[in-house]
Amino acid sequence: MIKRVLLICLTAYLILITVDVVRALDQDIPKPELVRIANQELKRKGLVRLDYFSDKENDGGRSLSNNEHLEGIRNLIVYGNPHGTFSQDRYRYLGYTMEDDFFTNFLFRNDATSSTALVYRDWQIDPFRNPNTRNEKQIGNSQGKFNNKSIFEDSIREGLKLISRLDDNGNIFDFPEEELKKRQWNEYVHVYQPPTSVSWGSGIMFHMTSDGRIWYLTVPMAPLELDDVPPPDTGTIKADLKVISVTPEKLADGERGVMVTLDSSGSTATLNDENVAITARRYFDSAGNEYPTTNDTFVFPVSYAQPGSLITLNVRVFSQALSEAGIGATDEASVTIYVGREGQIEIDATGKLAADARGNEKFDVLRGIPTTESLYANITDAPQYLADVEYRAVSGKIRYKVRVECTYKLSWEVEVRYTDYIRDENGFVIGTTWRSRWEPHSESIPIRYTYDDIDRDYLYYIIDHLEIYGLENAVIENECLPNGSITLTPRGYVPPEIIIDRNNSNYLENAKTKQANLPDKATMKLKPVGEDSYVTIDKKVQGIM
């Protein structure tokens, strides 16, 4: 069988290739980095589940190539050494594909040409399964996993226009745009190396002549559009802890130990703005007691509690989903409880029972009281009120989200490079040369920074129990009194007034944050022509308290 390669291209067309296509031609990317980027794109696009390209060797054991014949030609991922016919300082094959097929050199001279436009040939659909072509040696080792993919349609069409000849009027001759639109060419190309946004791919088509012979055409596949790189995972986890009950609430002097029922069900975790599970909890105290569990409620035994003590208990929560995403997956919260004291409040009051008249007593009642004499009774000293109060401290951390904004004023120049093809007198490509121009660009970009983990401590007290008693009357009991007792009512007594100084009704506002704008601080520079570009940014974050 006669081998025929139709790879003809003209400078006038290539200059019209989009900037995205030129991007892949702009400069050679180091091969291991090129492989990494290509694998990431293929997986993001759902074309493969695992890495397709290897940065070591292909399926045939051939090493990733850095051969000099690959320099400046479209960041191709090639393995092994160039081989085949050597003509005009070029090999017919640049090396091998990942699946160990021959990698055709699109710059190698054509074996033959034709006066008929190629688009009208009898192209064979689905060559990998087509009985007319499935045994052709050019298909070789590749298994067709990238065939019939509509995502490659534009790439294939760009490649077909690239290898087309021009007519006398400078119009595309072999694969004009209006003819390309009449069919889906991805159904006719056997892809033995997929393109990415940074590398060209390669495929092959077959057509049948009127006498039944099969001829093939190598199709360069233009780089794909850059896909949207998914943003990095973001997530937060916030612990929350509340006290449901303390049993018993009070202890008598000498007693020890309470059971504290805790609730951490208010703890939350989010991954990419979606709620994810809290998968583990650990309740602990400062005495070294720890209780791991998955339950959001827990009864914590505090054996060392005593009357009037303050006890701090904590919970640490964990999210497996955040951990697998490489995001901080733990947070802690705490509560402080007050253990009350049992017992009555002692009253210390002084009274007086004496003979009338007041201040001019006729006898000393301590030596005896004549039954016919009158007496008077008086309370000489008593507390103005009785009080019983229980309170507890509540402390912890509150997390604030702080936003700041800065406008970056950018200016730069972009070198737009393209390839100019050198042709012989017959119009065949025999070499290439680079051309370039610099285009100025400027842009102002407002950037918002969000800090989700600004923690502030808080402390306040809750009054759990408050009893205030004023004076209503006093009862003096003695056998010398009529009916054995007398009730006295205070005169000029002012009942106690209860005033609670809350200091600040919103205690959590004690942790202050402030939103601020950053000053415009940004510059972008380019190295001299011929060197890699770099960016320097002068940025100072201010305004966060």
Tell me, what's the pLDDT at 372? 63
- DSSP-assigned letters across all residues of 2-58: ---------HHHHTTS-HHHHHHHSSPPPHHHHHHHHHHHHHHTTS-SS--S-SSB-
Whether residue 28 is predicted with pLDDT greater than 80 in this model: the reply is: no
Outline where 312-453 has alpha helix (H): 320-324
Residue 352 pLDDT class (50, 70, 90 cuts): confident
* CATH 2.60.40.10 domain position(s) in the chain: 235-343
166, 210 in Cβ contact below 8 A? no
Cis peptide before 131 (omega within 30 of 0): no
| Adjacency order of strands within the sheet including 102-104 | 83-87, 90-96, 102-104
**Cα(444)–Cα(459) distance, integer angstroms:** 44
Q: Is the pLDDT at 122 greater than 90, yes or no?
A: yes
Task: Please list, residue by residue across 333-372, b when 16 or more beta carbons sit within 10 angstroms of its beta carbon and e when fewer do.
Answer: bbbbbbbbeeeeeeeeeeeebbbeeeeeeeeebeeebeee
pLDDT at 248: 92
3-state secondary structure of 71: coil
pLDDT band at 449 (very low <50, low <70, confident <90, very high): confident
CATH of span 235-343: 2.60.40.10
Average pLDDT of the segment spanning 399-421: 78
Q: pLDDT of 262-308, one tens digit each? A: 999 999 999 998 999 999 999 999 889 999 999 999 999 999 998 87
Task: Grade residue 538 by pLDDT with cuts at 50, 70 and 90.
Answer: very low
Q: pLDDT for 464-477, tens place per residue?
A: 767 777 787 888 88
Q: Would residue 80 be called left, alpha or beta, if left means φ above 0 and alpha means ψ between -120 and 50 degrees?
A: left
Average pLDDT value for the chain? 79
Asked whether 5 and 217 are in contact (CB, 8 A), the reply is yes
Instruction: Pick 20 or 131 by higher pLDDT.
Output: 131
Half-sphere exposure for 299 (CA within 13 Å, toward CB): 7
DSSP 179: H
Least confident window among 180-189, 238-247, 309-318, 445-454: 445-454
Average of per-residue pLDDT across 231-259: 90
Residue 166 DSSP code? B
pLDDT band (50, 70, 90) for residue 72 = low
DSSP code of residue 481? S
Q: Residue 368: CB partners within 8 Å, gap ≥ 6?
A: none
Which residues share a beta bridge with 436?
417
Q: Which of 189, 314, 154, 349 is nearest to 240 (CA)?
A: 314
153 contact partners, CB below 8 Å, separation of at least 6: 184, 185, 186
Looking at residue 160, its pLDDT comes to 92
